[in-house]
Structure 1
Amino acid sequence: MRTALVPGLCALLLLSAGTASASAADATRPQPYAFTPGARAVAGAASAGTAERLDPGHTYRSSLPRNGKLYYRLDLTAADTAYVPVTAVPPPGTTVSATDGIKVSVRDAHGTPCSFASARFGAGLSARPVTALGQREAGRTVCQGVGTYYVLVQRLDAEGSGTAATAQRWDLEIAPVTEPRPARAGATSAPRTWDSATPEPLTGAPRDRSGGTGFASAGPLGQGVWRTALVPGETRFYKVPVDWGRQLHASVELDGAQGHGYVGGALNLSVYNPVRGYVEDAAVGYTGTRKPAVLAPLPPVEYANRYAAPAAVTSVRFAGDYYLVLHLSEQMTGLFGQGPFGVTLRVRVAGQAHTGPQYAGRPVPGDVFTLTQQEREAALPGSPGGGGGGGDRVMKLVAIGGIGLGTVLLAVLAGWTVAARRAQTRVSAQKPTA
């Protein structure tokens, strides 16, 4: 047994040393966007007549050329509202202006637009994943009835921002969703009153939570104070379960750093709803001094919010996972170094939960507007936020103790060896004597 353990132990220690070295190197560069595993490849068409079909409930990968436009096809019933979020991912090192980005629209078979939405990089002047949502709403005055509809995706490139990097194609992630009508007609106007006061920021010791690098890998959070670190150009995704009747509040703070100058939009916090539709954002202009950015108050989640005019109200129209997306501008490097920079995220979920509308059919995918009991509990104060667990606790002990991963593995293996010897001793003691 001892002979078998030694080579395995050496291999594990070598692996841990290599992992630590790779982790140190990775910490100095932004992590790429993590596309949904198993996403289907789809080629956008230059015209509507040759567009490939998108099926709700599936996620797709495509790519968009500069100064180009691409069409995709949707086959919809008369009763379903369709949401088509498109996330554009520029290559690393892309030079962008504040007004560069993408535009997404849904059109009927006659070319009549049902909706327009755009997403731009903003004051941070930093390439990052940006998401725009196209939609066809059932029951409105245009784009009604069963039939074929088209999704049009276009680049928004400002004059003078073209470089070798911006000339490259941008990867796309497309994740269409459909929502059925409610079984019974309800209010057709948005709630008139709701608590729009900004609450006091949560206090307490923050808990580490690194987040994901895409919508599909978003790190789960509940109410609480959370901590991470970002390098310039990096984007992190989190998701917070928000039930019907509950209200999401969030703020973010960027630690102080050595350096001089000013970076506009240095740290951006954006909120997206369960179909990846833009809700609201806030940004930190940075001079090296610790500074917070607070999201404007959002209304409680209600079905009737869809009848409101402001985007920050109409987009908070269903329960489910709401995404918090952090991005640290690449412009930080020139004035304040390569980081990483500490970031604190404060999340509050207020209000009384209640049951939502009964749909006449099933959304696609079926769980997009549904929360499990475990997810509801994860949003409560003091919860672990749906993530972490034993792995986080072990790594926290490693960090606090200042010991290496190889030492931890050695201790674990030693424990296994002792346990195996004790078990062998007990078996030997139980054997009958001759």
Structure 2
Amino acid sequence: MRQRSRGRATLAVVAAMCAVAALPGQAYGAGESTTYIFAPQAKAVNGAAVNTEAAELKTGSVYRSSIKFGEKLYYRLNLDETTNAYVSAVVVPKRGDKVAYGDGITISIRDQSNLECGSQNARFQSAEYPRPIAAYAYRNVKKDSSICKDPGAYNVLIERESKDTSGRGDWELEIRYVSEPQLAKGASTGTEAPDEWPSASPTPPTAASDNRRHGGSGYYDATSLTTGEWKDEVEPGQTLFYRVPVDWGQQIFATAGLGNSTLPDENEYISSALAMSLDNPAQGHVDAASPMSYSGKPASVSLDPVPPVAYRNRFASATGVSAMRFAGWYYLSVTLNPEVGKFYGSEPFPLTLTVTVKGTAGPTPYEGDAGIFGVTQDDQDMARSGQSGAQAAESRSSRMKLLGAAGIGAGAVLVLGLGGWTLLARRRQAAAATPAGTGDVGQQQPYGGPPQAW
């Protein structure tokens, strides 16, 4: 009886593990919330008006903060003399807030003499409606420079810039701090930025038979994509997030298309109807497509060709080149202007994303584990299945819990089995020591015989 129970328990564990392993990608139409999803592990942190009062950020961590109208906030880093550091800030205005052309933030890392190590800004340009936008600052150690090279305390400064006519509400911030791995000895990285790269539009990929993927609501739950044509729906005012693995030597192309309206009036012209942005694995801004106009008819917009991923891209002065400096997940975000809903209805609009990753993957220049600055086989599998990072983490956690439960169950069975074997051996020993003709003859067995199956 116990053997059968043990078999059923084992089958149950195996079945549960198989069910977790077979979890589908993010379902089309799931997660219809139009609000930004912050990383659940984000720690609350307050920026300081004075740098000496700034809270320290830890590498590999995510934080949640906010910035007021016209405010300048400081955070602190403690750096060694060799590590390249990146701090990104995702700006999340409240829906309905008013933003003007040029509103946004500038984020920079500065040494104790206030010399700037590296900076970037995130701006609401052309597409003047609230949506999440991102930028990063960096401290890169350069052999031929004496700036930002010493170990010690550094300041992260985030400055909000808004027009007097803009909304005065607080902007929420999602802040990430990551460190770049050390280069491997003898790694060939180059010292000059490229001045040309392939720019011809690739042949459009063939749509998969099951090509519906619903975008996430933030970087945390961005839906994974690979080369292909993907269908989705987007609501007016909504921002959808996707991520694509791009390895060393590979180049990404992306186009977003909006389907036609089914309403009879298709003459209302809306400029900046659809905005599309590309960010790198450290969530530094790479490029934004020219905002697409819409008049109720099918329309599309594409990112300008960016260079293949290469370490030497960092030496370029242009953001669209220098941000293509490492491999990993590249993020696409698409926002539909809320004004579209006023003229063409609030129902979701058909959206098509066409993604192409060209080129053969090259070797990593880093020593050891590249972390987020690399592409693994698991990443490629997630891209094909459509899993988000959040879903993958949940699947891994569930598998580990089930494996732990299976291990505990197997251990309990083993302990019980050993206990039963010991008890049986003692009984046999006692029976062998009993004089002939006494005791229960039916229970006597020769000492040293094989133990009874448990």
For the aligned pair, the TM-score class normalised by the smaller chain equals 0.7 to 0.9
Deviation at 1:43, TM superposition (A): 0.6
Q: Supply the AA of the counterpart residue of 1:334.
A: K
| C-alpha distance after superposition, 1:33-59 (max 9, x if no partner) | 110012111110001110000011000
Q: CA deviation at 1:279?
A: 0.8
Aligned partners of 1:26 and 1:221: how far apart in 2? 17
Aligned-residue offset at 1:144: 1.7
| Per-residue deviation, residues 298-328 of structure 1 (Å, max 9, x unmatched) | 2111111112232211111111100011111
CA contact under 8 A between 2:255 and 2:355: conserved in structure 1?
yes
Aligned to 1:156: 161
Counterpart of 1:175 in structure 2: which amino acid?
R
Distance between the aligned counterparts of 2:371 and 2:358, measured in 1? 23
- What TM-score do you get using the length of structure 2 for normalisation? 0.73
- Pick aligned residue for 1:194 from 154, 173, 197: 197
State the alpha-carbon separation in 2 of the partners of residues 326 and 180 from structure 1. Answer: 30
Report the AA paired with residue 220 of structure 1.
Answer: S
1:126 maps to which residue?
129
Counterpart Cα distance in 2 of 1:202 and 1:231: 26
User: What's 1:135 paired with?
Assistant: 138
Q: Is the 8 A contact 2:221 2:388 kept in 1?
A: no
Structure 1 equivalent of residue 340 of structure 2: 332
**Matched AA of 1:157:** S
On the 8 A contact 2:279/2:330 being kept in 1, the answer is yes
1:193 CA displacement: 4.5
Whether the 8 Å CA contact 1:260–1:335 is kept in 2: the answer is no
1:352 and 2:356 are equivalent in the alignment: no
Q: 1:354 to 1:284 in 2, by over 3 A?
A: same
| Contact 2:310/2:325 (8 A) holds in 1 | yes
Alpha-carbon offset, residue 92 of structure 1:
1.9
1:86 aligns with 2:72: no
Give the equivalent residue in structure 1 for 2:80: 77
Q: Is the 8 A contact 2:83 2:141 kept in 1?
A: yes
Cα distance change, pair 298–243 in 1 and its aligned pair in 2 (3 A): same
Q: Take 2:174 and 2:29, find their aligned partners in 1: how far apart are those partners?
A: 29
Structure 1 contact 87–172 (Cα < 8 Å) conserved = yes
Distance 1:149 1:240, change over 3 A: same
Q: Give, in whole Å, the separation in 1 of the partners of 2:31 and 2:259.
A: 21
1:346–1:173 CA distance, 2 compared to 1 (3 A): same
Aligned to 2:177: 176
Using the alignment, how far apart are the partners of 1:105 and 1:238 within structure 2?
A: 26
Q: 2:103 aligned with 1:103, yes or no?
A: no
Show the counterpart of 2:451.
Answer: none
Partner of 1:239: 243
SS in structure 2 of the partner of residue 52 of structure 1: coil
**1:347 Cα deviation (Å)?**
0.6
Alpha-carbon distance in 2 for matches of 1:212, 1:368: 19
- What corresponds to 1:210 in structure 2? 214
| Aligned position for 1:272 | 279
The residue number in structure 2 matching 1:3 is: none
CA shift in 2, pair 1:156/1:288, >3 Å: same
Q: Which amino acid aligns with 2:364?
A: G
Aligned residues, how many?
353
Structure 1 residue 151, shift from structure 2 partner:
0.8
Relative distance call for 1:319 and 1:26 in structure 2 (3 A) is: closer
Deviations 1:350-380 (A, max 9, x none): 1011111033x76xxx62112221323555x
Letter in 2 for 1:348: T
AA in 2 matched with 1:182? L
Paired amino acid for 1:124? A
Q: Which runs of 5+ in 2 are unaligned?
A: 1-27, 390-454
**How far apart in 2 are the matches of 1:384 and 1:61?**
30
Q: Matches of residues 359-398 of structure 1 in structure 2 within 5 Å?
A: 359=367, 367-376=371-380, 383-386=384-387
Q: What percentage of aligned pairs have identical amino acids?
A: 39
Return the alpha-carbon distance in structure 1 between the equivalents of residues 337 and 48 of structure 2. 33
- Counterpart of 1:131 in 2: which secondary structure? strand
Report Cα offsets for 1:155-200 as digits up to 9, x if no partner: 1101322xxxx22211110001111441336311124543221213
Aligned residue for 1:334, secondary structure, equals helix
Structure 2 letter corresponding to 1:174: I
For 2:275, the aligned partner's letter is N
| Superposed displacement of residue 294, structure 1 | 1.1
* Counterparts of 1:111 and 1:91, CA distance in 2: 32
Specify whether residues 78 and 234 from structure 1 end up closer, same or farther in structure 2 by C-alpha distance, changes over 3 A only: same
Aligned pair in 2 of structure 1 residues 54, 46: CA closer, same or farther (>3 Å)?
A: same
How far is 1:116 from its partner?
A: 2.6
Given residue 247 of structure 1, which amino acid in structure 2 is its aligned partner?
Q
Contact 1:221 1:387 in 2 (8 A): no
Amino acid across the alignment from 1:239: R
Q: 1:306, 1:316 within 8 Å by CA — same for their partners in 2? A: yes
For residue 62 of structure 1, report the CA deviation from its aligned partner.
Answer: 0.6
Out of 51, 55, 59, the position equivalent to 2:58 is 55
Are 1:43 and 2:16 matched, yes or no? no
Residue 255 of structure 2 aligns with which residue? Answer: 251
Q: Is the 8 A contact 1:221 1:240 kept in 2?
A: yes
In structure 1, C-alpha distance between the alignment counterparts of 2:106 and 2:339, rounded to whole Å: 25
Instruction: Tell me the TM-score normalized by structure 1.
Output: 0.77
Report the counterpart of residue 299 of structure 1 in structure 2: 307
